[in-house]
Amino acid sequence: MESESTQLSPKPHSVIAIYPGSFDPITNGHLDLIRRGARLFDKLVVSVLRNHDKTPLFSLDERIEMLREVVQGYPNVEVGSFTGLLVDHAAACSATVVLRGIRAISDYEYELQMAHMNHRLQPGIETVFLMSHEENSFISSRLVKEVFGLGGNISGLVPPSVEARLHRRLSEYQNVEVG
């Protein structure tokens, strides 16, 4: 017979996590974190930040649409968007966890600072860091756009549907420049 101290108690509530980002565009590194986060949490809300200070390559609606395309196989993953403070959005979604990816030490320094500030603003929300897998550790949306814009091969860095959208966007820009 097990003692009371070694018995596992049932989960009192489901754990909801928020995975925020600009996702301009979504990369295989992002998708890997979504896949892993979907296994770790009862519900994962992938939230696109509406940052009015930046001019994204893809509109907010396009980024949401791309995310929905690539996460449709994960029944516990939802896609949304937010402005303002992440912790306010997390609280509005009843999330108790913010999921963040770490590719390098430089990411950790920034993310640690953000995690401490978020905890100060909303002590009930914890930040969970997942290390990027080695094959994704160098991938960023910014780098993907830069390499693609210079004619480099980005196969394997983004989902195929996202690569197709990048090709369409490039041809739209080329048509505007020529016309």
Return the CATH number at 171: 3.40.50.620
- Could you report the per-residue pLDDT of 8-30, keeping only the tens digit for each? 554 567 999 999 999 999 999 99
Residue of 11, 13, 54, 120 with catalytic role: 54
Among 143, 167, 171, which Cα is nearest to 157's? 143
Residue of 35, 36, 50, 103 with catalytic role: 103
Does the pTM exceed 0.85?
A: yes
Quote the number of domains for the chain: 1
Task: Please check whether residue 37 lies inside any domain of the structure.
Answer: yes
Q: Is residue 89 among the annotated active site residues?
A: no
Task: Please check whether residue 7 lies inside any domain of the structure.
Answer: no
Are 124 and 93 a contacting pair, CB within 8 Å?
A: no
Distance CA(116)–CA(110), nearest Å, equals 10
- Could you report the per-residue pLDDT of 124-177, keeping only the tens digit for each? 999 999 999 888 888 999 999 999 999 999 999 999 999 999 999 877 766 555
Task: Please check whether residue 64 lies inside any domain of the structure.
Answer: yes
Q: Is residue 54 among the annotated active site residues?
A: yes
Task: Please check whether residue 154 lies inside any domain of the structure.
Answer: yes
Task: Please check whether residue 8 lies inside any domain of the structure.
Answer: no
Q: Is 101 helix (H, G, I), strand (E, B) or coil?
A: strand
Residue of 22, 47, 132, 141 with catalytic role: 141
Beta sheet of 16-21, edge-to-edge order: 77-82, 43-49, 16-21, 97-102, 126-131
Question: Which structure tokens are listed for 151?
Answer: 């004619």
CA atoms within 13 A on the CB side of 114: 18
Indicate the residue type of 136.
N
Q: Is residue 103 among the annotated active site residues?
A: yes
Q: Is 128 helix (H, G, I), strand (E, B) or coil?
A: strand
Which residues sit opposite 155 in a β-bridge?
Answer: 158
Question: Which structure tokens are listed for 29?
Answer: 């590194």
Are 177 and 60 a contacting pair, CB within 8 Å?
A: no
Distance CA(26)–CA(141), nearest Å, equals 7
Provide the residue range defining the domain that includes 121: 16-178
- Could you report the per-residue pLDDT of 34-46, keeping only the tens digit for each? 999 999 999 999 9
Task: Please check whether residue 3 lies inside any domain of the structure.
Answer: no
Task: Please check whether residue 9 lies inside any domain of the structure.
Answer: no
- Could you report the per-residue pLDDT of 79-136, keeping only the tens digit for each? 999 999 999 999 999 999 999 999 888 889 899 999 999 999 999 999 999 999 888 8
